[in-house]
Structure 1
Amino acid sequence: MSNAVLNGLAGAGGGIIAQIITYPLQSVNTRQQTERVAKKSQSQGSSGGTLVQMLQVIRSEGLGGLYSGLKPSLLGTATSQGIYYYFYQVFKNKAESIAAANKRKGHGDGTVGMLSWLVVAALAGALNVLFTNPIWVLVTRMQTHTQAEQKILEAKKEALIRESGFIGSSLHDKLRELDSVKPNPYGTFQAAYEVYNEAGIRGFWKGIIPTLIMVCNPSIQFMIYESSIKHLKKKRADKKQSSIKVSALEVFLVGAIAKLGATVTTYPLLVVKSRLQAKQEISTNNSLRYSGTMDAIVKMIHYEGFSSFYKGMSTKIVQSVFAASVLFMIKEELVKLYALLANKILLLKLSK
């Protein structure tokens, strides 16, 4: 098995485990990102911290509400991590061979520089985005469906109170009738049908522009990660330690630091992407509905202020840093396990 395929499979395995562990945080974070409250209403729009919001979801939707969209999300994670790590390893191998060739010609020390790491990660990330964006559109829709349905119901109630001639108990009965309406089942196929009805095939690539720009997130992450690991190994080699191998705990910590730096840098783009991919009825105010990336950015600044670009960032930092740390650690351990098994199989063959 080639090291590109091995890293792809290990990345997919690590990604699935990390996703399952941190999914409730991701689900709540998507709701935080897509919540739209104009400046004049922001004092009324706060819905508490992450833990409070998680409890609200459990109270209104049950525990399953925190895992809405988990199935396509796991598919997306496995596909995304598999594609990313496969192409990352392919491009990494190429970059290392170019660096080695340059050393033979008397240029450089044979190691891959920071800029090369950025290019490698960016290329792998761009291919990953183009292949998997439709899956993440469906995941976002499923995570925010209940939120959108509640907003639609609130708008109907407001219209009924404002426009109808009902008074007293008649109005109360009508409002109670609206409350009793059960939402239609909403799964992956329903989400796909809704997206297609709204915008056709193009709808599955909503948010592709900020998502492609966000390729710099894993680029920054891997630049920090690879440079830090390289520094650790070099430091140990300089001290002439018996082993320059990096432990699972060190991989976990370096992965956390790398993801933290990348998340803080690119978070505003993630908010824009989530808002474009969510159902636009999530806002009852037409001024807070978006037709494209620039329209979203301009309206967010004008109606909600710059703080809207950082909604839910604390939740995202906890979720993404922990998920990335788990992913890196498990991926590296899976690669080591495969190498160990391959060596044992080889020794058994040689002993026969």
Structure 2
Amino acid sequence: MSESNAIANGLAGAGGGIIAQIITYPLQAVNTRQQTERTLLKKNKQSLVPQSSNGIATASSSGFFLQLFQVIGNEGWGGLYSGLKPSLLGTAASQGIYYFFYQIFKNKAVAIAAARKVKGRGDGTVGVFGWLIVAAIAGSLNVLFTNPIWVLVTRMQTHTQAERKIMDEKKEAIRKAASESSLAGSTLENKLAELNSTKPRPFGTVHAANEVYNEAGIVGFWKGVIPALIMVCNPSIQFMIYESSLKHLREKRSAKKQGDTTVTALEVFLVGAIAKLGATVSTYPLQVVKSRLQAKQEIGGNNSLRYSGTFDAILKMIRYEGLPGFYKGMSTKIVQSVFAASVLFMIKEELVKAIMVLANKRKKVVLKYE
């Protein structure tokens, strides 16, 4: 029964994750661009950021709506769904793997707690620390299996942004060469017109995979895995709050002698939102570092803006961008992740009920004819 319960949770998690991902994907796409956008401290701008013709640094911070309109203006509505296909695959795999292992280890934790009660130790329930361990193990396995998919998704979400910055640098280089060699105005205009007429290259999943492999080989598909593993504490915190809150609700109803201790879909939605909010705020800086590592590193052609690893990224972000760099796009992420998690929890719980009902009916039918 425990194995079928784990499979039901895995399937429900995958289904709920796909639906939540489709609904909130534009928010995620914009948020990834906000996270990977470099905004340097004033003291570093003159020396590190390519300057436009009017002297304004090309790297700038933009809010959600400005970034949203920039994406639509430059790439059309389709730009908000760049990388959706591998993202849906990643979500299905990620949620399925996570909930499958989460349920397996949850069942074992419950069994251990029950055995301890029989021996006169504990009250038979899994404590907060137990839920943290369960979520951490499931999360670590999930990260190791699915990190390559998320590297591709990040590349596809930020490809146009990176290409635009590379194009801006080429234009600036032409202007600089023109000023140093007294290049004729018509020649300068022709070169700039040629660059402006250059159409963006097609960039699908295969292109992203080739780019990652050419840059760093197979290891490149596990870029950002260290902050991702550290971020396992995100779902751990989330599920600790979630399970503890549901347990409190059921105990409260049981104390009032209402008989029915079931939790409604709306209550699951609200509890899921609160749980995800707490987890997101506490681990957001690591998410920014992970996105920076997984995105294309050729930003402005400056080595000071490229990261060789997790600690290098952290040190350079502190030095050149300050602490605000670790919280870029957090408001967008809170809205996206909290809403997605709420929808996911609500749909998952309903799908689990439906799958278990179907499984029980099938079992009864089999027993009837045996």
Which TM-score band (shorter chain)? over 0.9
Determine whether 1:218 maps to 2:232: no
Task: Write out per-residue CA displacement over residues 40-90 of structure 1, whole angstroms, 9 at most, x where no aligned residue.
Answer: 249964454212221221111011100000000000000000000000001
Q: Percent identity?
A: 74
Number of the residue aligned with 2:97: 83
Give 2:324's match in structure 1, choosing from 304, 307, 331: 307
Give 2:339's match in structure 1, choosing from 322, 325, 335: 322
Contact in 2 for aligned 1:300/1:308 (Cα 8 Å): yes
Number of the residue aligned with 2:199: 182
Structure 1 residue 270 displacement after superposition:
0.4
Distance 1:283 1:33 in 2: 16
Distance 1:48 1:195 in 2: 27
Determine whether 1:194 maps to 2:196: no
Task: Write out per-residue CA displacement over residues 242-283 of structure 1, whole angstroms, 9 at most, x where no aligned residue.
Answer: 310000000000000000000000000000000000001134
Number of the residue aligned with 1:95: 109
Look up the equivalent residue of 1:22 and give its one-letter code: T
Q: Which runs of 5 or more residues in structure 1 are unaligned?
A: none
Give 2:139's match in structure 1, choosing from 125, 132, 135: 125
Contact in 2 for aligned 1:47/1:53 (Cα 8 Å): no
SS across alignment from 1:245: coil
Contact in 2 for aligned 1:4/1:85 (Cα 8 Å): yes
Number of the residue aligned with 2:265: 248
Determine whether 1:295 maps to 2:312: yes
Q: Taking structure 2 as the reference length, what is the TM-score of the superposition?
A: 0.92
Look up the equivalent residue of 1:197 and give its one-letter code: N
Look up the equivalent residue of 1:296 and give its one-letter code: A
Determine whether 1:31 maps to 2:48: no
Q: Output the aligned Cα RMSD.
A: 1.6
Distance 1:84 1:39 in 2: 39
Determine whether 1:238 maps to 2:255: yes
Q: Taking structure 1 as the reference length, what is the TM-score of the superposition?
A: 0.96
Distance 2:278 2:133 in 1: 18
Determine whether 1:51 maps to 2:51: no
Structure 1 residue 344 displacement after superposition:
4.1
Contact in 2 for aligned 1:31/1:144 (Cα 8 Å): yes
Aligned length: 352
SS across alignment from 1:246: coil
Structure 1 residue 37 displacement after superposition:
2.1
Look up the equivalent residue of 2:308 and give its one-letter code: S
Look up the equivalent residue of 2:28 and give its one-letter code: Q
Distance 1:142 1:260 in 2: 27
Give 2:157's match in structure 1, choosing from 143, 157, 168: 143
Look up the equivalent residue of 1:123 and give its one-letter code: I
Contact in 2 for aligned 1:102/1:110 (Cα 8 Å): yes
Q: Which runs of 5 or more residues in structure 2 are unaligned?
A: 50-55
SS across alignment from 1:111: coil
Greater Cα offset, 178-187 or 9-18: 178-187
Number of the residue aligned with 1:115: 129
